[in-house]
Chain A
Amino acid sequence: MLLIHCPYCEEDRSELEFRWAGEAHIARPENIAAISDEEFAEFFFLRNNEKGLTYERWRHIHGCGRFFNAARDTVSDSFLMTYKAGLPKQPVPVAERFAAIAEETSVETWEQTEGDAR
């Protein structure tokens, strides 16, 4: 079970208190009524689903109730940092990034093992 640092409660809390809320830093267009079908599709339907470092929104729904942003490594499933909603995309500190990369190679993924077999 993940341990998530809530930037509002300023404390690490169990994943149980949180809810995932999709990719972060996708702003609703201010002139949404006027955008094209393609722009709407880009805004509403299309997500990157990145492998590795990903920015996503979480809500401390059973805690302070706040939405916030998180940088998470989808390979190691570890949180690299969290920060308050409304802040621009934050760079992941070098130390965390290094740790994450070290970890990435240590995880035996399906691609690694199956890739070998081919």
Chain B
Amino acid sequence: MAELATRSLPLSGVHGGSAIVRLEPAAPATRISLRVRAEDVPALSSALGVDLPMKPKTSVYANGRTALWLGPDEWLVIDEGESGLMTAAANSGALHSATDVSHRNTAILVSGAGAASAINGGCPQDLSLDAFPVGACSRTLFGKVEVVLLRTAEDAFRMEVWRSFSDYAFGLLSEGARDAAL
């Protein structure tokens, strides 16, 4: 009798932004939290098809997958499709920890000329292009919630946030977007 369950997305139907900031929920994605020791990074990189960046605050994009450096042995790997990240990691044959966090996180896409200002409405990091260039990523705070920020273009960011914090993050971004447009 069991029919297939359907997905309900956090932030479904929300909209916001201002004249110079566009806010939209990102499409569902596959994500793993990946933990690897330095010596096993090459094996995981090749298994996942994306080179895990070793430099703090950087990300690497390849084959539809983005690997974000979060800590010295920690990466967030995002695949925009429904691909088998867990399986790929398991097939590496190297010591690692991979945990599926596809549903733990959701993401908000922030774009437009005022994107950085809107995020700086709650984020204490320097988001100038010098300090936070395209491809830069960091776990940080946004108001009272923790987020992972990835700059996808000069005027575009992806904000990864735990699902139950996403309403708050979207609300605070809306405030920031409104103020950035003034």
Contacts and interface: CB of A to CB of B under 8 A. Distances in A.
Given A9-B57, A14-B124, A14-B125, A63 B72 contact: no
What interface size band does chain B fall in?
Answer: 10 to 19
A13 B139 CA distance: 11
A65 B140 contact: no
Main SS at interface, chain A: loop
Interface string A55-70: 0000000111110000
A8 interface: yes
A13 B125 contact: yes
A116 interface: no
Contact of A11 (B56, B70, B124): B56
B116 to A, nearest CB: 16
Contacts of A8: 56, 71-72
B74 interface: yes
Interface residues of A, number: 14
Interface in A1-15: 1, 8-11, 13-14
B138 interface: yes
B71 A65 contact: yes
A11 B72 contact: no
A62 B141 contact: yes
Nearest to A12: B126
B124 to A, nearest CB: 4
B57 A11 contact: yes
B124 A64 contact: no
A62 B56 contact: no
A65 B124 contact: no
B124 A66 contact: no
Contacts of A17: 124, 140-141
B139 A64 contact: yes
A1 B125 CA distance: 13
Interface of A: 1, 8-11, 13-14, 16-17, 62-66
13 contacts: A1-B124, A8-B72, A9-B56, A10-B56, A11-B56, A13-B124, A13-B140, A16-B141, A17-B124, A62-B140, A64-B70, A64-B72, A65-B139
